């Protein structure tokens, strides 16, 4: 499987490149970085290609593209690819509601799998939190996150997703719109990722914690999702990580 990486010099992008080059069943089709990057023209270590600017992305002969960059870069890549039916896996987070709607529009052209968190077991963790919220709808829910100090201080895509789904679960049981859980943001050292869902019940508190140990966990999950996405010809549309796990 030939994979093009958007955001190839990033924290996750470099792990994606490493995993692809180390797997004989995978081939690095393109390593795309920011236009103007000093890496442009530099050979990718151990590989037979050079880093290239993202605007060359639409010419990459690949089976699938994996994007871990920035919202503006991700959407620009979608525009540049145009109507080509290149399947895509997007891990980039931080899209506004309008930008996310644009992603859905682009998914009319090609299969696009989007997930805020590709680490193993995250979907199961999220479902456990939803199940707890359904069983204890009167509990006051709160979300906590701890990431590396370089991450922007806005709530992560993971926290926003957990807050949305826990809120929806409570609202459905209670029959009215539950308040959105508060999100507490921490940035500590080079923490890879700690996510908490807290349920305060007065006399007791439940805390569900999800801790990711390595950045490679996200990269490996994204590659597995890409292998699923291209395992059979799929219709254009927007796919979730749950789709790949439920198959």
Ligand X SMILES: NC(=O)C1=CN([C@@H]2O[C@H](COP(=O)(O)OP(=O)(O)OC[C@H]3O[C@@H](n4cnc5c(N)ncnc54)[C@H](O)[C@@H]3O)[C@@H](O)[C@H]2O)C=CC1
From the CB of residue 123, how many other CB atoms can be counted at a distance below 10 Å?
19
Q: Which of 9, 60, 107, 117 binds ligand LZUJQKHR (CB under 6 A)?
A: 117
DSSP lists the bridge partners of residue 88 as 65, 112
Would you give the binding string for ligand LZUJQKHR spanning residues 123-162, x where CB under 6 A is met?
------------------------x---x----xxx----
Q: Which of 60, 78, 117, 244 binds ligand X (CB under 6 A)?
A: 117
Nearer Cβ to ligand X, position 199 or 218?
Answer: 218
Q: Are residues 238 and 114 in contact, defined by beta-carbon separation less than 8 angstroms?
A: yes
Q: Does 68 bind ligand X (CB under 6 A)?
A: yes
Q: Does 14 bind ligand LZUJQKHR (CB under 6 A)?
A: no
* φ, ψ (nearest 5 deg) of residue 6: -100, 125
Closest of 158, 157, 179 to residue 168, by C-alpha = 179
Nearer Cβ to ligand LZUJQKHR, position 52 or 126?
Answer: 126
Nearer Cβ to ligand X, position 68 or 199?
Answer: 68
Which positions from 187 through 206 interact with ligand LZUJQKHR, judged by CB under 6 A?
193
Q: Does 159 bind ligand X (CB under 6 A)?
A: no
Q: Does 73 bind ligand X (CB under 6 A)?
A: yes
Q: Does 93 bind ligand X (CB under 6 A)?
A: yes
Nearer Cβ to ligand LZUJQKHR, position 53 or 157?
Answer: 157
Residue nearest to ligand X (CB): 10
CA gap 122, 118 in Å, rounded: 7
Q: Are residues 216 and 223 in contact, defined by beta-carbon separation less than 8 angstroms?
A: no
Q: Are residues 19 and 223 in contact, defined by beta-carbon separation less than 8 angstroms?
A: yes
- Residues contacting residue 222 through CB under 8 Å, at least 6 positions apart: 12, 16, 66, 68, 89, 91, 115, 118
User: Which residue stretch of 33-41, 96-104, 105-113, 165-173 sits at the interface with ligand X (rule: CB under 6 A)?
Assistant: 33-41
From the CB of residue 114, how many other CB atoms can be counted at a distance below 10 Å?
23
């Amino acid at each position: 499987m030939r994979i093009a990486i958007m955001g190839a010099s990033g924290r996750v992008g470099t792990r994606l490149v490493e995993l692809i080059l180390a797997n004989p069943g995978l081939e690095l089709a393109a390593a795309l970085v920011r236009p103007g990057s000093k890496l442009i023209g530099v050979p990718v270590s151990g590989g037979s290609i050079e880093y290239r600017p993202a605007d060359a992305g639409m010419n990459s002969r690949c089976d699938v593209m994996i994007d871990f960059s920035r919202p503006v870069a991700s959407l620009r890549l979608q525009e540049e690819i145009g109507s080509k039916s290149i399947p895509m896996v997007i891990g980039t987070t931080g899209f506004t509601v309008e930008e996310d709607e644009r992603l859905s529009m682009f998914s009319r052209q090609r299969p696009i799998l989007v997930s805020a968190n590709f680490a193993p077991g995250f979907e199961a963790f999220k479902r456990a939190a939803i199940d707890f919220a359904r069983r204890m709808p009167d509990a006051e829910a709160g979300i906590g996150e701890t990431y590396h100090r370089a991450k922007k201080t806005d709530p992560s895509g993971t926290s926003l997703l957990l807050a949305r789904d826990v809120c929806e679960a409570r609202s459905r049981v209670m029959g009215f719109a539950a308040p959105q859980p508060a999100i507490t943001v921490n940035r500590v050292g080079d923490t890879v990722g700690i996510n908490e869902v807290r349920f305060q019940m007065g006399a007791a508190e439940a805390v569900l914690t999800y801790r990711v140990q390595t950045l490679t966990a996200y990269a490996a999950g994204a590659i597995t999702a890409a292998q699923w996405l291209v395992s059979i010809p799929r219709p254009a549309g927007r796919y979730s990580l749950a789709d790949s796990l439920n198959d």
